Amino acid sequence: MCADVTTDAIKDASMLKQKEMIASNYDKITSAPETGVKVSSTFVPGNLNELTMCFDMANNLPEINALSNAMRKKTGAMISDAEKMGHSEDVCTYVKADLGMMAKGNIAPNGKPMPNPDMLMLSYTGCYTFLKWFELLREQYKCPTVMLHVPYEGEGKITKNMRDYVVKQLKEEVIPTMEQVSGVKFDIDRLREYMKDSAKAEDDLVWVLQSAKNVRSPIDAYFGAVYYIGPIFSAFRGTKDAVEYYSLLRSEIEERLAKGLGPVTPEGEMGEEKYRLVVEGPPNWTNFREFWKMFHEDGAVVVASSYSKVGGVYDYDGFRHDPQNPLESLAEYCMGCYTNRNLPDRTTMMADLVEEYQADGLLINSIKSCNSFAAGELLMLREVEARTGKPGAFIETDLVDPRYFSPANVKNRLESYFQMIEQKRQSGAQAA
């Protein structure tokens, strides 16, 4: 059984700075009625933060609200309220947590009332649930709504026609609406400057994520990466704060590498690195610390994950925001997000990561209420096993619904998987 996790978590300087940054964004949002700042609500995949900043708008992200409430053990009641309102048990629990939050007074994670958004901007349409979620929000808030249609990468590449199609929407629909809502005229040179800072932060983030190629890894690219990706996937990409944060993070990891240290966990320094894993699927947020402990107490470190790419696949295909082609770059960013890619490409990515990061295999955390991730995962697992010769495993949890996290079940499956890895190693040694 996991030890008590009620004590304060150990955090390094970058984790504390990340926490302060996220808190400052909530303060900016909740103070908007007094400051006059306009608020745009959008989602993490395809998040056009640089463009939002061009109009002096605050960026509110409903998924971040849901996971923040989950880590505070508040989403169970919110989801229950949403289901009482008629929403299905099978609907994405991010959605139900958000709707439940609204039903309970729409109190933000900082304890202050969340103002109604001045604009809804959906810049990622790869998830059908997101479309329906926005329809519900539009019905609730009755504010201007932009639906940026982002083509699916069904053929595994972004064509000129696809890019031009998104750019046309940016020019003719998105930017004019943001000008109207904010009262601020669009300045493309301002966008270019933000993108310069985006690229700087992205370079440092990529360096940090790729540091896990080292044996031993100085980071955990799943649980630890939650802290790493927070600023760049939310309201800080394109800011000086993000540049400073990722510079600080990189310096911390460089020091850990030099000292031969593993990741920092909530319980302190991780012990021996016994297993190196690639993980597909988001983490469970309601029991995040307990979930992480199940890994690190057995010496398992995640060296790469698909979740660290949900808001941008910077470390795999080399994408960076390009100030020389700002609108085209925004279009490519929206289309290139992990869950907007087809299953064969995502499978190839996972297989490549297992090999490149010298992992012992692929672990899938299948999320009950998230079809964007869960669809085809078993096929992915079998294919990655076949390509790499490494064993895979499958566990099941949920995003923010505490009813679908069984500590005993998850722990048993993980321990069985670690035993499978040991057996694979022994058989390999005998064959050699």
With bands split at pLDDT 50, 70 and 90, how would you rate the model's confidence at 7? low
Alpha helices (runs of H) in 260-340, residue ranges in sequence order: 288-296, 314-317, 326-336
Question: How large is the average pLDDT for residues 290-310?
Answer: 97
pLDDT at 431: 67
Q: Please, are residues 337 and 63 in contact by the beta-carbon 8 Å criterion?
A: no
Asked if residue 361 belongs to a domain, the reply is: yes
Q: Cα 294 vs. chain centroid, distance in angstroms?
A: 21
User: Mean pLDDT across the stretch 18-47?
Assistant: 95
Mean of per-residue pLDDT scores for the chain:
93
Helix (H), strand (E) at residue 50: helix 49-53
The residues facing 33 across adjacent strands are none
Please state the pTM of the whole predicted model. 0.94
Q: What's the CA angle centered on 196, arms 193 and 199, to 5 degrees?
A: 150
Angle subtended by helix axes 377-388 and 343-356, to nearest 10 = 40
| Domain span at 197 | 13-431
**3 domain-assigned:** no
Whole-number Å distance between alpha carbons of 220 and 224: 5
In this predicted structure, what is the pLDDT of residue 131? 84
Sign for the CA dihedral angle at 129, 131, 134, 140 comes to negative
Percentage, residues of the chain above pLDDT 90:
84
The span from the CA of 272 to the CA of 289, in Å, is 19
Say whether 297 sits in a helix, a strand or coil. Answer: coil
Contact 361, 381 (CB under 8 A): no
Mean pLDDT value of segment 112-138: 88
Element holding 302 (H helix, E strand)? strand 300-305
Can you give the pLDDT at residue 4? 35
Q: Are strands 39-41 and 58-60 parallel, antiparallel or unpaired?
A: parallel
Q: Which of 326, 58, 323, 24 is nearest to 200 (CA)?
A: 323
Domain assignment of residue 8, yes or no: no
Per-residue pLDDT, 384: 98
CA distances from residue 89 to 68, 73, 135, 310, 380 in whole angstroms, order as listed: 21, 19, 19, 24, 26
- Establish if 354 belongs to a structural domain: yes
The Cα-based distances of 81 to 72, 104, 370 in angstroms read 17, 9, 20
Which pLDDT value is given to residue 5? 41
Q: How many contiguous H segments (helices) and E segments (strands) does the chain have?
A: 19, 10
Residue 6 covered by a domain: no
Task: Note whether residue 308 is domain-resident.
Answer: yes
Q: Is the pLDDT of residue 6 over 60?
A: no
What are φ and ψ of residue 263, in 5° steps?
-70, 155
Residue 64 lies in a domain: yes
Is 386 part of a structural domain of the chain? yes
Between 306-315, 317-326, 369-378, the lowest mean confidence (pLDDT) is in 369-378
Q: Considering only 6-10, 102-106, 408-412, which range has the smallest mean pLDDT?
A: 6-10
**Number of structural domains, the chain?**
1
Rounded Cα gap, residues 72 and 64, in angstroms: 12
User: Mean pLDDT over residues 300-313, rounded?
Assistant: 95
pLDDT classification of 432: cutoffs 50, 70, 90: low
